[in-house]
Amino acid sequence: MRIEIVFKTPTASIPINYQYQLCSFIYKRLRHVDRNFGSFLHEKGYKGFKLFTFSQLFFEKSAVRFGSLLLWPARGRWYISSVSEEFIMNFFSSLIQVPQIEIEGTFFPIEQINLLREPNFEGYAEFFVLSPLVVSIPVDRNGKIYHKYLMPGDEEFESTLVKNLVKKYEAFYGEKLDPQLSIEPDWDYIRKRERITKLIDIRGIKIKGTVFPFKARGDSRLIKIGYEAGFGERNSLGFGMVAPLISETPVKKLFDSGTQ
C-alpha cells in the first residue's frame, strides 16, 4: 500500500540531505498513534527489515544554493509505501490528526492525502525511481568490512538485488521463495545521461544510489514486494522507491525531463 501527500511549501531553507529527518518524522508519527508498533518497527522490524520506503520530496519551486535547498511558496508531493497495512493506516491516521510535515523546524501544511490504488502485476512491470536505488556487497579490506556499491551492468548487481527482494518477502510472509526474477535497466536512458549516481549524506555516512528506469520480469510476488517495500537496500531511509513507468503523476514529468 502507499499514500501520496500533497503539501504547501513556505519560503524556507532546508538541508539538501533531508532523508534522515523524514525517517525520524515517520517513526515519531507512528509512535504517536501506536507506541508498540512504532517501537517494534524501529527496534526489530521483520527479521531486520523495516519493509517501508519513501520518495524524495518533489517541490514545484526550489533551488540549491550554498549547500542548502531553498524553497518558495508553492506545493510539493511526497510518497510513502509499505508492505504492512498497519503501517500505512497508522501513518495515515497520524497525518489526519496533525496535518503537517516537519523538517528541522520547518513546517509543511498538508493539503491532501491520497491512498493510491495498487497496480496489478502479472509477471512484468516497468518502473522509474522516486528515490535512488542502492545495491551493495560487503568487501573485506585488511580485516575491515566495507560496502562496495554496485551499478547497473556490474556482475553482481542483478543477483544481489533479487536476493534482497527474496529475503524481504520471506521475512514478511514467512514462506520460502525461489528467486525467479530478472531486472533489465533502461540502457538507452543510462547512455544519454552523464551520470545516474547520487551521493546522499546520512549523518556523515555517504551512500551512493542510482537513478534509472528498469523492467522487472518474473515472479509477481517479488515485483510487488519491491513496489511496496522498495528495491535494494536502506529503504527505510528513503531509498529504492519506484513507480510504474506508465504513471501520469506530476513527478513522472520531472523524471522524464531529467530534473529529478
pTM to 2 decimal places: 0.92
Question: From the candidates 27, 32, 147, 189, which is the catalytic residue?
Answer: 27
Q: Is 173 annotated as catalytic?
A: no
pLDDT of residue 82: 97
Q: Is 147 annotated as catalytic?
A: no
Domains of the chain from N-terminus onward: 2-116 (3.30.70.1890), 124-257 (3.30.70.1900)
Query: What is the C-alpha end-to-end distance of the chain, expressed in Å?
Result: 23
Question: From the candidates 32, 42, 147, 189, which is the catalytic residue?
Answer: 42
pLDDT of residue 143: 84
User: Which residue positions in the chain have pLDDT lower than 50?
Assistant: 257-260
pLDDT of residue 257: 45
pLDDT of residue 178: 86
Write out pLDDT tens, residues 153-199: 999 999 999 999 999 999 999 999 988 999 999 999 999 998 999 99
